[in-house]
Structure 1
Amino acid sequence: MINSNTLETFSELERLQSEIKRLKRKNYQLESKANSYRKKYLRYHAFFEISSDPFYITTYPGPPTENYPNPRDYLKQWKIIEVNNTATQIMGYSKKQLTSLSLGDIATHNAPKSKQTRSIIKELVNPIEKGQMFSIERDHIDRRGNKIEVEIKGQAVNIGGIKYIASLSRDISDRKKLEKEILKSYRLEKHCRQVLQKEIANRIDFTLALIHELKSPLTPILSSSETLLSREEPDSLNAELARNIYHGAKSLNACISELLDLAKSEISGLTLQRTSLLLNPLLSEIAGELTPYIQSHRQELILDLPEQLPAVLADPERIKQVLRNLLNNAVKYNREKGRITLKAGERDPLITISVHDQGRKIAQKDQLNLFKPYFRCSQDRARTDGLGIGLALSKQLVELHSGEIYIRSVRGKGTTIIFTLPVFSNTGRTSGK
């Protein structure tokens, strides 16, 4: 016979069995969560340890109060609670030793207190309070007392309602060393550039003064010799002497003018008087002007032009100056009884003008320097006169017209110097470069 006590006992057992089942289910759920958390911890810990840079987790005491302590004392409130193996290897401490220290124990503070204070608040505290990542450069001191220049990047993390700071510390000693070397090189280069600019300015001033001194006596020589030439019989000895004086002075005056133009180009003082220009008449004019001079050297000038070339936007006097330089050079370096060809053509959107002679090939090493001021080919220095500025000036003038100038020299075929000018389009602008 089952009494009431027995029933109560059975009822209690059923309740306990039900509770045990519930607790087992709860325990299973907790174990599942624990395993999940354990896996996540292992995964994050692996990321934490695999870093090749020191990784720190520190406490965050909050922003400094009005009674702001010494920056070093403030950073001592940032207790290190976790580090990775890389941090221990680089800093020379064990994990136990390092986690007993603070940021204030491993950071140096060489700057004045006021500057440190502004730096810590601006670069560290303000971004943290705004929930942003911070980046700051500091010096860390390892256990052996060695200074390590580091860049620290980090952010606040909330763990269990408590704010911590997770930061990565990267050694930037090599970068800082390189920056110092670059800065040193920059300062040296700046100093050298200033010295060079001063030397160039002095040289230009000297050149301009020299040109003035040379031009002054040339003016009466030119005018006097021209007057004598007009008064003497053309075939007389005096006329021949006056003619020699006049042509010599005129040649010297042209060299001085080129020297002046080159000096101006070095200080960006060369100017152009551009106008819409048809090249056929200009090229024919230059050919007519220089034909007697070329023939006097027992050479022949051939003019090879199409019926009509498009207009260019150019300074006619400067283009004539370039052509005179190129044709004079061709005469100097041409073979005896050789031909010189002045040729022009259209290669949309450019006009190409070339001067070809039948002289010797110019050596490759000389071609590289041909358009440099005062340069003359080594094989012709003793044979020819001149300052070596004609081609350099021609290059400056062509480039001022947005054109290009270059050379082609082939053994047995001679040398061709070619320059280009952009075509003047109907819109009123030059096309091309």
Structure 2
Amino acid sequence: MFDTLPVAIYTCDHQGYVTSYNKAAVDLWGREPELGKDLWCGSWKIFWPDGRPMSLDECPMARTLKEGVALVGEEILISCPDGLLKNVLPSPVPLFDHSGRLTGAINTLMDVTAQRLGEKKQAMLAAIIEHSEDAIVSKTLNGDITSWNQGAEKLFGYTEQEMLGKHISILIPKDRMAEEDLIIERVKSDKSIAHFETIRITKDGLEVPISLTVSPIRDGKGRIIGASKIARDISVQKLSEAQLQKLYEDIQALNSKKDEFIGMASHELKTPVTSIDAFLQLVQRSQLLEQRDKELVSKARTQVGRLTSLIADLLDVTKIQTGKMAYTFTGFDFTGVLKEVIEVMQQNHPSHQISLYSDIDMLHVFADKQRIEQVVINLISNAIRYAPNTHEMVIRQSVNDQYLKLSVQDFGPGIDPSEQAEIFSRFYQVKRSNGNASGLGIGLYISREIVDRHQGRIWVESTPGEGATFSFELPLMRETKII
């Protein structure tokens, strides 16, 4: 019977030698003592509660045998042979014969390791809760407050004494009382609430925005008996969000005014530029001009043409930003349009050799002819502008069952990889080798918009020093015919 008891028990004679022990004692010590040889106890090593080594003659059993009195409540630490430390509460009691002579003692050892570990964790948790910057509050399922930390006092202005036992509704605005019912229902259903943004009222009557996290509280049997709430003040975050929103709205307003100005200025410029070109045409036709003057007028008209193209691009940017860029989809021969564009560009830039590689004689597509032609012109113009020291350009046209693909390859300085992702952005300017930017950065932006509206895609492939290839694909629609 002695050996089957779940509590560790052992005995010693009046000299302190261990005379008996049960299985629970062996499990506690991690070893079996030698009867008649081990003194005072069977522990491998003994320590005071603060970790200092304890000599055998200072252990509770030794003191009981020396003093002839029972010792109660003096906790010790023991070390097993494998190094495991355990908190033990011994209760040694002296044994006497009928004549009152001390014959030995019996000691009961209670393993309180788990209890002490739990107490440490509880103390640590309590310290964390008490000194947390967040408000941490616990309440019953009826809403009565049962704990209130310093963070809650700092956030809401109430002391712990003022709030314990009070109902949580004291913090809730009248128009948000229904939130508490929903929270309690979720807690009762064993569900947590994470980062719920709401409003609560301070002692001074101020409304403060908070982020609320709620979790169920259980008793020792696992039953839900309440809820813990962690409230974080998000006033600064909300203020920052409001400021960012206002900044965004201000930027949008400025962008709108900018686009409006660009559109208005472009419209105002379009008429006089058209008039200038008309007057130059009249002058160019005059029979009185000498050859040198005719060349100057021709150059002037070329520059007016560039200005006209720039104004048209600026107008297109405004239309894109305001969603007013119109498209007219019709059927036309894409190959024919491509050849016409190449012919015109070749005439205007005789210093460049533009080569077309395509085995397609006719390719009827369904798209906006003017806009697709605009994309092709823009890609060829860029290849000439950004590769001025080369005299060759290759254009490839191909088609498969789903897409038409056109590529324009130059042999210029190429584009740095860091710029390739941004090159189709509005007003993005590619840096030249001398560090200067070129162009207004709107041609490729417009081209991407046009290709996107045709449900296609446009991209660039380039290795610095080896040129660049700009390509776009357009999906072949049911109206498309290949000959």
**Which of the five TM-score ranges fits, normalised by the shorter chain?**
0.5 to 0.7
| Partner SS state of residue 241, structure 2 | helix
Residue 301 of structure 1: how far off its partner (Å): 0.7
C-alpha distance 152-355 of structure 1, shift in aligned 2 (>3 A): closer
Q: In structure 2, what is the Cα distance between the partners aligned to 1:408 and 1:150? A: 50
Q: Do 1:150 and 1:169's aligned partners in 2 also have CA atoms closer than 8 Å?
A: no
Residue 107 of structure 1: how far off its partner (Å): 3.0
Unaligned 5+ runs, structure 1: 1-49, 61-74, 93-100, 142-146, 155-164, 429-433
* Larger RCO, structures 1/2 (Cα 8 Å, 6+ apart): 1
| Partner SS state of residue 372, structure 2 | helix
384, 392, 402: which one aligns with 1:331: 384
| Partner SS state of residue 228, structure 1 | helix
Q: In structure 2, what is the Cα distance between the partners aligned to 1:132 and 1:123? A: 11
Residue 355 of structure 1: how far off its partner (Å): 0.6
Q: Do 1:108 and 1:139's aligned partners in 2 also have CA atoms closer than 8 Å?
A: no
164, 168, 179: which one aligns with 2:226: 168
> More strand by proportion, 1 or 2?
2
Residue 231 of structure 1: how far off its partner (Å): 3.0
Residue 373 of structure 1: how far off its partner (Å): 2.9
Q: In structure 1, what is the Cα distance between the partners aligned to 2:266 and 2:151? A: 70
Q: In structure 1, what is the Cα distance between the partners aligned to 2:213 and 2:291? A: 91
Q: In structure 1, what is the Cα distance between the partners aligned to 2:442 and 2:151? A: 65
**Partner in structure 1 of residue 411 of structure 2:** 358
Q: In structure 2, what is the Cα distance between the partners aligned to 1:331 and 1:246? A: 19
C-alpha distance 188-248 of structure 1, shift in aligned 2 (>3 A): same
263, 267, 277: which one aligns with 1:212: 267
Q: Do 1:286 and 1:320's aligned partners in 2 also have CA atoms closer than 8 Å?
A: yes
Q: Do 2:213 and 2:229's aligned partners in 1 also have CA atoms closer than 8 Å?
A: yes
Alignment pair present for 1:375 and 2:428? yes
Residue 103 of structure 1: how far off its partner (Å): 7.8
C-alpha distance 248-108 of structure 1, shift in aligned 2 (>3 A): same
* 1:169 alignment partner AA: A
Residue correspondence of structure 1 range 389-400 to structure 2 within 5 A = 389-400=442-453
Q: In structure 2, what is the Cα distance between the partners aligned to 1:382 and 1:412? A: 16
187, 198, 219: which one aligns with 2:242: 187
Q: Give aligned pairs, total.
A: 326
Q: Do 1:300 and 1:337's aligned partners in 2 also have CA atoms closer than 8 Å?
A: no
* 2:341 alignment partner AA: I
Q: Do 2:393 and 2:408's aligned partners in 1 also have CA atoms closer than 8 Å?
A: yes
Q: In structure 1, what is the Cα distance between the partners aligned to 2:224 and 2:199? A: 16
Q: Do 2:409 and 2:470's aligned partners in 1 also have CA atoms closer than 8 Å?
A: yes
| Partner SS state of residue 264, structure 1 | helix
Residue 375 of structure 1: how far off its partner (Å): 3.0
Q: Do 2:262 and 2:315's aligned partners in 1 also have CA atoms closer than 8 Å?
A: yes
Q: Do 2:427 and 2:442's aligned partners in 1 also have CA atoms closer than 8 Å?
A: yes
Q: In structure 1, what is the Cα distance between the partners aligned to 2:436 and 2:287? A: 34
* 2:328 alignment partner AA: Q
**Partner in structure 2 of residue 289 of structure 1:** 344
Q: Do 2:429 and 2:438's aligned partners in 1 also have CA atoms closer than 8 Å?
A: no
Q: Do 2:405 and 2:471's aligned partners in 1 also have CA atoms closer than 8 Å?
A: yes
C-alpha distance 300-189 of structure 1, shift in aligned 2 (>3 A): same
| Partner SS state of residue 441, structure 2 | coil
Alignment pair present for 1:239 and 2:280? no
Q: Per-residue displacement from partner, 1:342-386 (whole Å, max 9, x unpaired)? A: 111114421111111111122222323322233333225788963
Q: Per-residue displacement from partner, 1:194-234 (whole Å, max 9, x unpaired)? A: 01111101111211222133223212211111122223378
Alignment pair present for 1:307 and 2:360? yes
Alignment pair present for 1:318 and 2:318? no
Alignment pair present for 1:260 and 2:318? no
Q: Do 1:330 and 1:356's aligned partners in 2 also have CA atoms closer than 8 Å?
A: yes
* 1:410 alignment partner AA: T
Q: In structure 1, what is the Cα distance between the partners aligned to 2:200 and 2:429? A: 58
Q: Do 1:305 and 1:344's aligned partners in 2 also have CA atoms closer than 8 Å?
A: yes
**Partner in structure 2 of residue 109 of structure 1:** 170
Unaligned 5+ runs, structure 2: 1-121, 126-135, 153-161, 203-209, 218-222
* 2:457 alignment partner AA: E
Q: In structure 2, what is the Cα distance between the partners aligned to 1:321 and 1:395? A: 11
Q: In structure 2, what is the Cα distance between the partners aligned to 1:228 and 1:116? A: 79
Residue correspondence of structure 1 range 5-16 to structure 2 within 5 A = none
Alignment pair present for 1:226 and 2:287? no
300, 323, 326: which one aligns with 1:271: 326
Q: In structure 2, what is the Cα distance between the partners aligned to 1:385 and 1:269? A: 28
Q: In structure 2, what is the Cα distance between the partners aligned to 1:229 and 1:212? A: 26
**Partner in structure 2 of residue 417 of structure 1:** 470
Name which of structure 1's ranges 193-202 and 224-233 shifts more when overlaid on structure 2: 224-233
Residue 270 of structure 1: how far off its partner (Å): 1.6
Q: Do 1:309 and 1:345's aligned partners in 2 also have CA atoms closer than 8 Å?
A: no
**Partner in structure 2 of residue 24 of structure 1:** none
TM-score (norm 2): 0.56
Q: In structure 2, what is the Cα distance between the partners aligned to 1:424 and 1:208? A: 34
Q: Do 1:106 and 1:140's aligned partners in 2 also have CA atoms closer than 8 Å?
A: no
C-alpha distance 55-167 of structure 1, shift in aligned 2 (>3 A): farther
Q: Do 2:172 and 2:200's aligned partners in 1 also have CA atoms closer than 8 Å?
A: no
> More helix by proportion, 1 or 2?
1
Alignment pair present for 1:402 and 2:460? no
TM-score (norm 1): 0.62
Q: Do 2:354 and 2:393's aligned partners in 1 also have CA atoms closer than 8 Å?
A: yes
Q: In structure 1, what is the Cα distance between the partners aligned to 2:201 and 2:275? A: 79
C-alpha distance 228-90 of structure 1, shift in aligned 2 (>3 A): closer
